[in-house]
Amino acid sequence: MDFTYDSETVALRDAVRGLLGKAYPSSEDRRGATNTEPGFDEKVWGRLAELGALGLPFSEDDGGAGAGPVEVSIVAEEIGRVLAPEPFVESVVLAGGLVAAAGTAEQRADVLGRLSAGENVLLPALLDSGQPVSASGEGESVTLTGAKEPVLHGARADQLVVSAVTDRGVELFLVAGDAEGLTRTGYRTFDGGRAARIELDGTPAVRLGEQGDRSAAIDEVLAAARIAYSHEALGAMEVALSQTVEYLKTRKQFGVPLNTFQALTFRAADLYVSMELARSTVMWATLVLADAPERAAEAASRAKAIVSRTSRHIGQEAIQLHGGIGMTAEYSVGHYMSRLTALDHWLGDGAEHRAVLAASVRDHGVLEPLA
């Protein structure tokens, strides 16, 4: 497998890095965006659309760029590097992916076209919260009742992709953000992000695609999202590690830089080894998603499991090696640890994915780590 980027992907990376680097040059700039509604910068969202980032995975017929998982991973990683709060993975990979997988041609052209142009913030509402969402009615008179939580950035959604249990299994529906009977209760998350509880009470909805169980499509899109989140974590870990090494080179104790103490240098070296192992596994999972999507679920679990372990290793060591300032709100390394913790828990944490992989060990005649 070739892990190197070609000239086009390098150009995409440089363009996104330049845009986000100017938007969020420091933790203070990110905090300014997350402290005001809707929790991210709408202008940056629009610039990502102008750059073509919001339409990357969708076909050209649906208003997208017809790119693949590698290009999506580049954007996700750059978002992680600066902790950009824009809901790229939630809107493009998850919600957009569900529409691309299950929607009719007309729905794809309409919804994905507006998402790609930055005109529509589309978000997924998949997790039930005490009151499972049910659907009633047929055709154009379908209504939904129940609650979903957490819905990341749900208070800002122009449109939601909602899952509901019907007689045919799990189906997907499009719901307008301002639909009758829909109540949104937004709140802040511990990493500075936003989430909401979405309550539906006889809310009008439009079925996504034809009637039928969409569980398989949901599983495929969730695998793609887990891999994208793993790339976002890679970007965050890389910066946290870089900041830590730079601190060891410049901070002095007993008249000499900290990196002259061999024990600290060994700890930094361990972080590099962990980082490279995680990067190799996540990039392999991305190529599996691109070339053999039927195997993406297992690859995503492997990526999520190792990123969970690595992000905890790098995040905790980064704070410890920075000493007391690592825990202050004014220093960015603590923000990276918060975001890495959130990414670990979203869509299944390390323990959950290790359990999934352990349950399938007997399915393999020979255990090949990277086959």
What are the CA-CA distances from residue 327 to residues 244, 275, 277, 320, 333 (Å)? 13, 22, 27, 9, 8
- The proportion of the chain whose per-residue pLDDT surpasses 90, expressed as a percent, equals 87
Q: What is the pLDDT of residues 334-351, one digit of tens each?
A: 999 999 999 999 999 999
Q: What is the pLDDT of residues 161-206, one digit of tens each?
A: 999 999 999 999 999 999 999 999 999 999 989 999 999 999 999 9
Across all residues in the chain, what is the average pLDDT? 94
| Residues 98-110, mean pLDDT to the nearest whole number | 97
Quick one: pLDDT band at residue 360, thresholds 50, 70, 90? confident
Reported pTM: 0.95
Cα 156 to the chain's mean position, in Å? 17
| Residues 87-95, mean pLDDT to the nearest whole number | 98
| Res. 134: pLDDT tops 80 | yes
Token digits of residue 316:
């905790």
The predicted structure's pLDDT at residue 331? 85
